[in-house]
Amino acid sequence: MSYFTLSELEAYSGLGRADFKSAGTQMATAEWVSFATFEHDAIAQIIDRWCNVPTFESHTVVEYKNGRGATGDFGEYLDEDYTYYLNEPATCVISVEENVNYGTGSTSTSWATRAQQTETETGDYEFFDYQSLPTIVFNKNVPAKGRRNLRVTYTGGYPVGSPELEDIKRLALKMATKDLVFKKKVQEAQTARAQGTKDFAPMFDAISDGNVLTKDITLMLCRYRRYNLGGEIWK
């Protein structure tokens, strides 16, 4: 599991194998592990899809960008010509490369590595995170006009133990608990109906629809959602 483990789910929800049934009998250990894994994967997919990321865990990302050249009226470079936004949260840039063969008529690619600015070297570009927006700004060797002629490799997501990943883990646990409680309510309603203590249909009126992506959850996830605002600066 990635966003949470089985033991973390049991500790957070207060629920475990003994609380759930499969085909009318208490779940076996293997069934419970399989069900909890399915629950985790479903919750993780909901979070990632809603936030427009493949995952919030640390991973390597390769993005291709369009070089814009100089787009000013008199051939000068504008701010958007040397500024590029990354699509995912990023902790560091691994490499920035430009295909210098683009537009030369060559059928092969030749990726020239650009140097990142450091405390002692000016470099070709600087990388910084401005209000959760990972940004690359060139100060020289600005990419020539082209399509997908700039390749950026970086570490996306958040590192283990970071406040951001821990917050996402907590939200994932909260969502999973909502779903487990829903399953528990359905299970108890079925038991009550089987024992003839209550009518089955009215009991379902009191059970939520099992929606885990509720308004309170989306409000907390909004800070991690990635928005592509369009325009050349994102390409």
- Based on the structure, what is the number of domains in the chain? 2
Asked whether residue 152 falls in the same domain as residue 184, the answer is no
Helices 6-13 & 29-51, crossing angle to 10 degrees? 90
pLDDT computed for residue 25 by the predictor: 83
Question: Per-residue confidence at 169, pLDDT binned at 50, 70, 90?
Answer: very high
Q: Are residues 63 and 80 in the same domain?
A: yes
- Residue 148's pLDDT is what? 94
Q: Is the pLDDT of residue 155 over 60?
A: yes
Residue (of 70, 235, 86, 232) closest to 144 by Cα position: 70
Please indicate, yes or no, whether residues 98 and 152 belong to a single structural domain of this protein. Answer: yes
Q: What is the pLDDT of residue 21?
A: 81
User: Is residue 234 assigned to a domain?
Assistant: no
Q: What is the mean pLDDT of residues 35-53?
A: 94
Q: Are residues 92 and 132 in the same domain?
A: yes
| Under 8 Å between Cβ of 135 and 149 | no
Instruction: Please answer whether residues 48 and 158 qualify as being in contact, where contact means their C-beta atoms are separated by less than 8 angstroms.
Output: no
Indicate the burial class of 136 (C-beta count within 10 angstroms; 0-12, 13-18, 19 or more).
buried
For residue 235, is it within any domain?
A: no
* Residue 150 scores a pLDDT above 50: yes
- pTM to 2 decimal places: 0.82
Task: Flag whether 10 is in a domain.
Answer: yes
Q: Do both 18 and 80 map to the same domain?
A: no
- Per-residue pLDDT, 235: 63
| 232 located within any domain | no
Final residue of a structural domain among 124, 156, 188: 156
Angle among Cα 147, 149, 154 to the nearest 5 degrees reads: 120
> Would 229 be classed as within a structural domain?
no
Q: 11 or 107: whose pLDDT is higher?
A: 11
Rounded CA separation 114/140 (Å) = 9
Residues 123 and 187 in one domain: no
pLDDT at 68: 92
**Residue 69 included in any domain:** yes
User: Is 109 in the same domain as 29?
Assistant: no
Domain assignment of residue 148, given as a range: 59-156
The three-class DSSP label of residue 200 is helix
pLDDT tens digits, residue range 3-34?
Answer: 999 999 999 999 999 988 877 788 899 999 99
Looking at the fold, whether 85 and 43 belong to one and the same domain comes out as: no
- What are the residues whose beta carbons fall under 8 Å from the beta carbon of 140, sequence distance 6 or more? 122, 124
In a domain, 1, yes or no: no
Q: Which pLDDT score, from 0 to 100, does residue 177 have?
A: 93
Last residue of a domain, one of 125, 141, 156: 156
pLDDT of res. 212? 87
End of a domain among 130, 156, 182? 156
If pLDDT is split at 50, 70 and 90, which confidence band does 233 have?
A: low
Q: Does 203 score more than 70 pLDDT? A: no
Residue 115 lies in a domain: yes
